């Protein structure tokens, strides 16, 4: 077979090289059901034939919205792309007005959803989307057409020649997908990615990820509507890794035990939760077992790669691995040897402790507009440095602008924003994409992200504050689940804090405090005083002007549904500030 140049080439490449019996595996009615590489291709072709019979033409748009990753999504993806139409994946958790905006802005002709909940949401806006002809569902939903009707329509293979002719006419430079960025401000922008954009990123990223080709197994659970997980799924297909799809984020830990993956992709928030769960278990131990557990954790927190800590440390690490960390690994299925993390910065202590436990986290960096990976760590060839996002991929140019912004140029940089030439011209100058992130490249070539350009702010004293650095440090406290540092134009930084309610309740019970609801916790003087201690200890790491001087506790759990987080679990700063205006005024009211 020729080299892979278009996204739909990946399954065919896999068929020739690896021909897996378990290419895609999804759980239905408590049973894991595998689809082989051949079945994957056969169904994708049937889907393409069905779409052509429905009148789909080159450059038509089909929106796909799924709550969980599943085999059907991938078949649909390849099936759409082979017709020259574009797959427009949409986040399932956005507001109905955003569904309406994206479907209208993209001109989607069909919409494929995963379940009844999404069918109801799209049905409620359908009358306001003139281009939308029909809704289909992966699951059986009353009153909704099923995706299998399209497969059925394509059962007759007599128009396969037409599919093949269209495939042959599709160039690597053609538009493949439009991905609407979740955006922390304003309307979502439609990022146009060509086949070449994503394929080039797959081929460049694959060199950094050590897979046992044709033999490894992955578990996929991050939203596939996001380019990060989607690109990773193409990598898995390219190197013959079996893809198991988790039932849901809530069931990830159970699914890891069942599937025993070699690799998963994660976001820092998930790694924090895994770490907190492990520490909570360790805290239940008593006597010598408890001492040993926390001794191993301390050893892990001091980890440096490539034996940099010397022979005595390596001896202690060997013991910690044998007695404690081996149990962590067993709890994560026993085979997990690699986690790839993106979307936001990971706390360095987590990178250290997981690497010490022989489940290294390879932190990477990128954006939807760069398909997405710009840089990523790699344990091999001394390419791993904690506190950095690794070295830029070979083939990706990175330079730092005078104001510290990271600029990048490569085949993976987007075609532009759909129907928005002005925003495209703002984002790309002389072929360089302006990431909006502030960073630096160290003497060894590792890239370090320090903050979002738009999120840095000045206090009234004219001092710059980088909130993400402070927030990441503060989240190391067991009491703090989420924190947002505020203070633009004010005389000092302050913060809104969403405590770890479950842990705080346990702490309160141990201290004879009756705090039953989240509101009780938010209003408790004792909790406030305890958090004050945590903050004062962490403040010492920062300059006087950066230190959090005041804070208020919020009674809600911050979530995507609540509007405080984007679907990739980044803070929606503007919305949080508006939501807690009363708390903001309480902090700064008397200081103005």
pLDDT digits (tens, 9 = 90+) for 379-435: 999 999 999 999 999 999 999 999 899 999 999 999 999 999 999 999 999 999 999
Q: Residue ranges per domain, the chain?
A: 9-170+209-263, 457-591
Average pLDDT over residues 125-146: 98
Q: How far is CA 138 from the centre of its chain?
A: 23
User: What pLDDT score does 417 carry?
Assistant: 97
Range of weakest confidence among 73-82, 240-249, 444-453:
444-453
Phi-psi region of 306 (alpha: psi -120 to 50; beta: other; left: phi over 0): left
Instruction: Give the pLDDT band of residue 345 (cuts 50, 70, 90).
Output: confident
Burial class, 186, CB count within 10 angstroms (exposed 0-12 / middle 13-18 / buried 19+): exposed
Average pLDDT over residues 528-550: 93
Average pLDDT over residues 154-162: 98
What distances in angstroms separate CA 89 from CA 39, 222, 488, one per listed residue? Answer: 23, 14, 35
Range of weakest confidence among 3-7, 271-275, 497-501:
271-275
Instruction: Give the pLDDT band of residue 453 (cuts 50, 70, 90).
Output: confident
Instruction: Give the pLDDT band of residue 185 (cuts 50, 70, 90).
Output: low
397 vs 269 pLDDT, higher one: 397
Nearest partner of 425 among 21, 434, 266, 176, judged by Cα: 434
Q: Indicate whether 590 pLDDT > 80.
A: no
pLDDT per residue as tens digits for the range 554-571: 999 999 888 898 877 788
CATH assignment of 457-591?
A: 3.30.300.30
List phi, psi (to 5°) of 556: -95, 155
Average pLDDT over residues 137-165: 98
User: What pLDDT score does 183 carry?
Assistant: 54
Q: Indicate whether 343 pLDDT > 80.
A: no
pLDDT per residue as tens digits for the range 48-68: 999 999 999 999 999 999 999
Check for a shared fold between 9-170+209-263 and 457-591. Answer: no
Q: Indicate whether 2 pLDDT > 80.
A: no
Report angle CA 344, 350, 353 to the nearest 5 degrees: 155
Range of weakest confidence among 80-94, 147-161, 264-278, 486-500:
264-278
Q: What SS3 state is found at 375? A: strand
Nearest partner of 163 among 47, 7, 10, judged by Cα: 47
Strands 416-417 and 338-341: unpaired
User: What pLDDT score does 25 carry?
Assistant: 98
429 vs 590 pLDDT, higher one: 429
Spatial distance between the Cα atoms of 67 and 561, rounded to a whole number of angstroms: 13
pTM of the model: 0.86
Q: Indicate whether 592 pLDDT > 50.
A: no
User: What pLDDT score does 591 carry?
Assistant: 47
Burial class, 436, CB count within 10 angstroms (exposed 0-12 / middle 13-18 / buried 19+): middle
* Residue 266 in tokens: 């994660």
User: What pLDDT score does 346 carry?
Assistant: 86
* pLDDT, the chain, mean: 93
User: b/e per residue, 346-362, with b = 16+ CB within 10 A?
Assistant: bbbbbbbbbbbbebbbb
Give me the architecture of the 9-170+209-263 domain, per CATH: 3-Layer(aba) Sandwich (3.40)
């Amino acid at each position: 077979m020729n080299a892979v140049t278009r996204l739909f080439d990946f399954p065919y490449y896999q068929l020739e090289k690896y021909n897996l019996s378990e290419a895609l595996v999804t759980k239905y009615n408590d049973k894991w059901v595998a689809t082989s590489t051949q079945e994957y291709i056969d169904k994708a072709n049937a889907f393409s034939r069905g779409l052509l019979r429905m009148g789909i033409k080159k450059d038509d748009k089909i929106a796909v919205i799924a709550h969980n990753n599943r085999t059907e999504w991938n078949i649909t993806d390849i099936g759409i792309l082979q017709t020259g139409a574009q797959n427009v994946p949409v986040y399932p958790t956005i507001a109905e007005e955003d569904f309406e905006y994206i479907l209208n802005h993209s001109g989607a002709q069909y919409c494929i959803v995963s379940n009844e909940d999404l069918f109801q949401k799209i049905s409620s806006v359908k009358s306001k989307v003139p281009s939308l002809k029909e809704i289909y569902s992966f699951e059986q939903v009353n009153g909704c057409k099923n995706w299998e009707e399209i497969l059925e329509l394509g059962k007759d293979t007599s128009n396969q020649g037409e599919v093949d002719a269209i495939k042959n006419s599709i160039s690597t430079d053609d538009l493949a997908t439009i991905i609407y960025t979740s955006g922390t401000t304003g309307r979502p922008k439609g990022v146009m990615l060509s086949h070449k954009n994503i394929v080039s990123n797959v081929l460049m990223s694959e060199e950094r990820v050590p897979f046992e080709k044709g033999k490894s197994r992955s578990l996929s659970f991050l939203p596939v509507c996001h380019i990060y997980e989607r690109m990773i799924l193409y990598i898995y297909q390219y190197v013959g890794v079996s893809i198991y799809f988790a039932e849901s984020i809530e069931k990830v830990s159970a699914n890891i035990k069942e599937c025993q993956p070699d690799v998963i992709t994660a976001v820092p928030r998930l790694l924090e939760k895994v770490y907190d769960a492990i520490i909570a278990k360790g805290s239940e131990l008593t006597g010598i077992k408890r001492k040993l557990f926390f001794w191993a954790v301390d050893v892990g927190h001091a980890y440096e790669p490539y034996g940099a800590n010397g022979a005595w440390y390596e001896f202690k690490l060997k013991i910690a691995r044998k007695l404690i960390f081996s149990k962590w690994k067993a709890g994560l299925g026993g085979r997990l040897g690699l986690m790839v993390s993106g979307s936001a910065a990971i706390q360095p202590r987590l990178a250290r402790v997981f690497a010490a436990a022989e489940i290294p986290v390879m932190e990477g960096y990128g954006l939807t507009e760069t398909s997405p990976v710009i840089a990523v760590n790699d344990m091999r060839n001394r390419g791993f440095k904690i506190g950095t996002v690794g070295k830029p991929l070979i083939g990706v140019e990175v330079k730092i602008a005078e104001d510290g912004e990271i600029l990048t140029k490569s085949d993976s940089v987007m075609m532009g924003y759909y129907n928005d030439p002005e925003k495209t011209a703002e984002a790309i100058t002389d072929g360089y994409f302006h990431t909006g992130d502030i960073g630096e490249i160290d003497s060894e070539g590792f890239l370090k992200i320090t903050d979002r350009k738009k999120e840095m702010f000045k206090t009234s004293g004219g001092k710059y504050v980088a909130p993400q650095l402070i927030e990441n440090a503060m989240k190391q406290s067991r009491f703090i689940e989420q924190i947002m540092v505020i203070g633009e134009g004010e005389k000092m930084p302050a913060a809104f804090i969403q405590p770890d309610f479950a842990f705080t309740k346990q702490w309160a019970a141990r201290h004879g405090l009756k705090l039953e609801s989240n509101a009780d916790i938010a209003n408790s003087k004792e909790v406030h005083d305890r958090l004050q201690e945590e903050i004062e200890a962490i403040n010492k790491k920062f300059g006087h002007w950066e230190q959090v001087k005041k804070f208020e506790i919020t009674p809600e759990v911050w979530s995507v549904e609540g509007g405080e987080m984007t679907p990739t679990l980044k803070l929606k700063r503007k919305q949080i500030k508006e939501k807690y205006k009363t708390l903001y005024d309480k902090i700064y009211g008397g200081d103005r």
